Amino acid sequence: MSFYGLVDGTDTSLKNYLGSLSGVDQVGADARAAMLATRSIKTTSKRWAIDMAISMVDLTTLEGADTVGKVQALCTKAVRPDPTDLTVPSVGAVCVYNDMVATARKHLDLVGGQHVGVAAVSTAFPSGRASMPVKLRDTRDALDAGASEIDMVIDRGAFLSGHYIDVFNEIVAIKELCGTRAHLKVIFETGELVTYDNVRKASFLAMAAGADFIKTSTGKIAPAATAPVVLVMLEAVRDFYSMTQQRIGVKPAGGIRNTKDAIKQLVLVNETAGPEWLTPSLFRIGASALLNDLLMQRMKMDTGYYASPAYVTID
């Protein structure tokens, strides 16, 4: 087996590959991310950036209390975020637990959202603590129900105990299952990996194993998609591209609640991975509350007045 010619599937080759990565200096990465956060963008670009951010949102509901009604409402909003303004683009995907995939797919199709994907969180989300047959079954369930994107979690326990090959093999197996049916996003739960060195290592591990996207977090653990973590992951996809000519996507999820945060993310993308990544096929933002703030900012740009939450729909 060869994975981009980087790893041959053995523990040794994986360890050599991960061992060749340079470290990340936390203070330096924090400083770079903070500096980029001071960039302000042009008004015309800001309007574009808001629409781009909307189209990158994976509109998410991942609650024990999710119901068919809640998911249907979410899907309607995903297709037409602002029913009064049809120039607002649809979001990138809705993101649900896999028992809601069929409901979401059906409702999206019903409201004209054939172009909006359904992402299912998988492999015993959010903890990843289940046996491999269960994880495979979990994923197959989601695929069969119509998921076009699989957001799997890695086994952080295996990662932290140094069993990288186990993490690698899980990703390989899930990727194989996804085949051409679904894109694979690999969630690290960076809040549990803690160090940027680990984030970088996990990024390169997941990319070599076949991830289409690397994703920061489940949204269940803080800290989640902090700017420096996203910076480190964007550096990883940039470097992976120069090694393999393959562009891997990045999805920050958790903690991005307003337009300012979202635009800072786009600045990070532009400055780090480059403008080629400024597309929903290579950058997604996992969020729920963010969408309404983006809509309010959009209204403000159109009218010149600060908007009120009364004019945007609640989920």
Which residues are catalytic, by number?
151, 215, 251
Options 28, 83, 112, 309; binder of another protein; rule CB under 8 A: 28
Q: From the CB of 172, what's the least distance to another protein, in Å?
A: 27
Options 11, 66, 141, 271; binder of another protein; rule CB under 8 A: 271
Element (H, E) at 45: helix 43-56
Options 11, 13, 30, 140; binder of another protein; rule CB under 8 A: 30
Nearer to another protein, 178 or 266 (CB): 266
Options 49, 150, 165, 186; binder of another protein; rule CB under 8 A: 49
Q: From the CB of 65, what's the least distance to another protein, in Å?
A: 34
24 binds another protein (CB under 8 A): yes
Window contacting another protein (CB under 8 A); options: 19-27, 127-135, 143-151, 156-164: 19-27
Alpha-carbon dihedral angle through residues 213, 40, 303, 53, given to the nearest 10 degrees: 0
Contact 291, 77 (CB under 8 A): yes
160 binds another protein (CB under 8 A): no
Give the torsion sign (CA, 260, 267, 280, 236): negative
Q: How far apart are CA 30 and CA 229, in angstroms?
A: 9
Task: Report the chain's terminal Cα–Cα distance, integer Å.
Answer: 46
Nearer to another protein, 116 or 150 (CB): 116
- Between CA 281 and CA 69, with CA 112 as vertex, the angle to 5 degrees is 95
Nearer to another protein, 46 or 257 (CB): 46
Residue with tokens 């009120």: 308
Contact 185, 251 (CB under 8 A): yes
Q: How far apart are CA 149 and CA 280, in angstroms?
A: 13
Nearer to another protein, 183 or 200 (CB): 200
**Stretch 171-230 residues interacting with another protein (CB under 8 A):** 194-197
Q: From the CB of 20, what's the least distance to another protein, in Å?
A: 11
Binding mask 80-99 for another protein (x = CB under 8 A): ---------x----------
Contact 284, 256 (CB under 8 A): no
Element (H, E) at 93: strand 93-97
Q: How far is CA 199 from CA 72, 106, 120, 172, 248, in A?
A: 35, 36, 23, 19, 15
Options 8, 25, 144, 176; binder of another protein; rule CB under 8 A: 25
22 binds another protein (CB under 8 A): yes
Options 12, 275, 302, 311; binder of another protein; rule CB under 8 A: 275
Contact 174, 138 (CB under 8 A): no
Closest CA to 263 of 41, 26, 31: 41
What ranges make up the beta strands (E) of 101-228?
A: 117-122, 149-153, 183-187, 213-215
**Stretch 250-269 residues interacting with another protein (CB under 8 A):** 266-267
Count residues binding another protein (CB under 8 A): 39
Which residues of this chain interact with another protein, rule CB under 8 A?
A: 22-32, 38-46, 48-49, 51-52, 55, 89, 194-197, 235, 242, 266-267, 270-271, 275, 278-279
